[in-house]
Homo-oligomer: A and B are copies of this chain.
Amino acid sequence: MTTPVDLREVGLRDGLQLEAPVPLATKLEILDAVSRTGVRRVEVTSFVSPTAVPALADAEQVVAELGRWPELRFSALVAGYGGARRAVAAGLPHLEYVISASDGHSLANARRTSDEAVAATADIARLAHDAGGECEAIIAVAWDCPFDGRTPVARTVEVARRAVELGADRICLGDTIGTTVPGRVVELVEAVRAACPGVEVGVHLHDTRGSGIACVLAAVQIGVTQIDAAVGGLGGCPFAPGASGNIATEEVVYLLEESGYSTGLDLGRVLEAAAVVERAVGHALPSGLYRAGGPSRPVPRPV
């Protein structure tokens, strides 16, 4: 049994977005290391306000260099129509449009209600499709919202259903604050699938509270093949220096390959990419596997 799982590397976007800005040349060096891991999909940047996210203010410049890696499928995150237009104009029509499932998070992040964000899917999907691209709807705070508390399953399902109705090609469920657990992942994925038959449902999880890798396994065990992860687990929480955020690509690769799934990624190459990222950001990365030095190492302790 080797079920293929199609990881998406999100370190360049979700990993770097909260870091001090990294020079373009360094980003390209990271991309080069990522390209050698064997990963096929890369979330390469976001087209959002450069004031809000200065680390990704060079989105157009990054996209201009992507011809170097013809084997990779790149996408960019957008938070609204303006960003979508920038991405398409830059030559990257494969969009991930973020819709918050709660009003609290939607108003805080995008100054509009969740329903207004959903409604904008139509124009953004049309823009992507007209440019030959795709539009994935990423549903933020799909499980829990830092402002409104638990997001009702029915609300996330409804956001997904309407986004697909309005033109989204795929759904990705985001555990924005890293609070969900495996049972809730299964419950929500199955509910969204039931409401959106034939539509691929992926997950963007965080490992903030230790349950992230267990959630990935739970998702993969019910057939989810679209998994987001970042080399080294880059992507900390601004309120908690050192707190891990993104699922570490190498930890997912290790878990899945040891569990009978196939990722197509080379674990050694992923660890090399993590070393490149660590040098780029200038601080230790949270990934346990990376810090342990790899898949195996002697430990002289009793148990």
Complex CA distance for A303 and B242, rounded to whole angstroms: 19
A50 to chain B, nearest CB (A): 14
The answer, yes or no, to whether A37 is at the interface (CB within 8 Å) is no
8 more CB-based (< 8 A) A-B contacts, given A182-B259, A207-B210, A244-B288: A14-B301, A138-B303, A176-B299, A176-B301, A209-B254, A210-B248, A213-B214, A238-B299
Q: Which B residues lie within 8 Å of A237 (CB)?
A: 292, 297, 299
Nearest to A248 among chain B residues (CB) is B210
A interface: dominant SS? loop
Asked, given contacts A293-B240, A300-B238, whether A211 binds B140 with beta carbons under 8 Å apart, the answer is no
Q: Mark A247-282, 1 if CB is under 8 A from B, else 0.
A: 010111011001110000000000000000000000
Q: Within 8 Å of chain B (Cβ to Cβ): is A147?
A: yes
- The distance in angstroms between the C-alpha atoms of A298 and B291, with both chains bound, is 27
- Least Cβ distance of A204 to chain B in Å? 6
CB of A144 within 8 Å of the partner chain: yes
- Closest B residue to A289 by beta carbon equals B209
Chain A interface residue bracket vs B: 35 or more
Task: State A140–B244 Cα separation when bound (angstroms).
Answer: 29
- Residue in chain B with minimal CB distance to A299: B177
**Which residue of chain B is the closest to A293 with respect to CB atoms?**
B240
Contact across chains for A210 and B213 when beta carbons are under 8 A apart: yes
Pairwise interchain contact B14-A303, C-beta atoms closer than 8 A: yes
16 pairs across A/B with beta carbons < 8 Å? A17-B301, A98-B302, A147-B298, A178-B292, A179-B296, A181-B258, A182-B259, A183-B260, A207-B288, A209-B295, A210-B248, A213-B213, A239-B293, A239-B298, A243-B292, A244-B288
A108 at the interface (CB under 8 A from B): yes
Confirm or deny: A35 has a beta carbon within 8 angstroms of a beta carbon on chain B: no
Cβ of A18 under 8 Å from chain B: yes
> Is A11 in the interface zone, CB < 8 Å from B?
no
Query: Is A167 in the interface zone, CB < 8 Å from B?
Result: no
Of residues 71 to 125 in A, which have CB atoms within 8 Å of B's CB atoms?
77, 79, 98, 108-109
Q: Is A226 an interface residue (CB 8 A)?
A: no
Complex interface residues of chain A between 1 and 38 (CB less than 8 A to chain B): 14, 17-18
Most buried by B among A146, A181, A254: A181
A46 to B108, CA, bound (A): 52
Contact B255 A296 (CB under 8 A): no
**A252 to B, closest residue via Cβ:** B210
Closest to A17 in B: B301
Interface centre among A237, A250, A295 (most CB of B within 10 A): A237
> Does A45 reach chain B (CB closer than 8 Å)?
no
B174 touches A296 (CB 8 A): no
Cα distance A298–B48 in the bound complex, in angstroms: 20
